[in-house]
Amino acid sequence: MTARSSRRTFGRVPRPGRGGVLLAVFVVAVLGWITLNTVRSDSAGSRGLPAGTPLPAFAVPLADSPCRGACDANVATRAGQGSAGAEPACDVRGAHVLNSCELAAGAPAVLAFVFAPVAACRDELDLLARARARHPSVRFTAVAVRADGAKARALARAHPGVPVAYDHDGAVADEYAVVVCPTITFIGRDGRVAGSTVGPLDERGLQTWLARIE
């Protein structure tokens, strides 16, 4: 994918209200992580997507993408949605793109949302990398929220073993109800959400979820 084509295919339509609220809550959650080393919330928005939900469509650059400039997420569900994307997100594919429709088709899968500045959050990638080596039938990917290409590449180098993409403007985090770091979406063989977890998982907790989706 060239830089020019990337500018055509990546983009976002601002969503008044909901996106701003979720971003504010996400920042508060991150501050809680730094202070308390853990976050727990009973609000519906902090639990990620519920089981049975179809994966919201998105396309984002992987850390090794040559995309430069406007590399915000594509969350378009149809053609001509302005800054959301000139074409549907499901049609934006390539070696340097993480596409949710491809992820659903290749299920089972694990999709982790991380915020790189928080150590306890980014360290979850090491747990996922170990699990990936033991579960070759499961596709593991991670999305660095509010990161650019350089930050995503640094994260991928520091925590190898799981492909890392980046959600520069937070559009995908918004769609996946991410307000606590890490949030992990587990995708079943049917390509739908099998469930979501918030906060760090230990080895046993992760194995329990993998047994449910394999």
CB 73 within 8 A of CB 171: yes
Give the distance from CA 157 to its chain's centroid.
Answer: 18
Predicted confidence (pLDDT) at residue 32 exceeds the cutoff of 50: no
Enumerate the H helices of the chain as residue ranges. Answer: 3-9, 18-36, 100-105, 119-122, 124-134, 149-158, 171-175, 203-213
Predicted confidence (pLDDT) at residue 67 exceeds the cutoff of 60: yes
Buried-state track 143-166, b at ≥16 Cβ within 10 A, e below 16: bbbbbebebbbebbeebebbbbbb
Tokens 């853990």 map to which residue? Answer: 38
Structure tokens belonging to residue 118: 């928080």
Which pLDDT tens digit goes with each residue over 68-95? 766 899 999 999 998 788 899 999 999 9
CB 176 within 8 A of CB 185: yes
Spatial distance between the Cα atoms of 186 and 73, rounded to a whole number of angstroms: 21
Structure tokens belonging to residue 81: 């949605």
Residue ranges and CATH numbers for the domains of the chain are 3-213 (3.40.30.10)
Spatial distance between the Cα atoms of 132 and 135, rounded to a whole number of angstroms: 5
Give the least confident one: 14-23, 48-57, 201-210.
14-23
Which pLDDT tens digit goes with each residue over 153-193? 999 999 999 999 999 999 999 999 999 999 999 999 999 99
17 φ/ψ angles, rounded to the nearest 5 degrees = 90, -80
Counting residues of the chain whose pLDDT is more than 70, the rounded percentage is 78
Sorted by sequence, the CB contacts under 8 Å of residue 188 that are 6+ apart come out as 107, 108, 194, 212, 213
Counting residues of the chain whose pLDDT is more than 90, the rounded percentage is 71
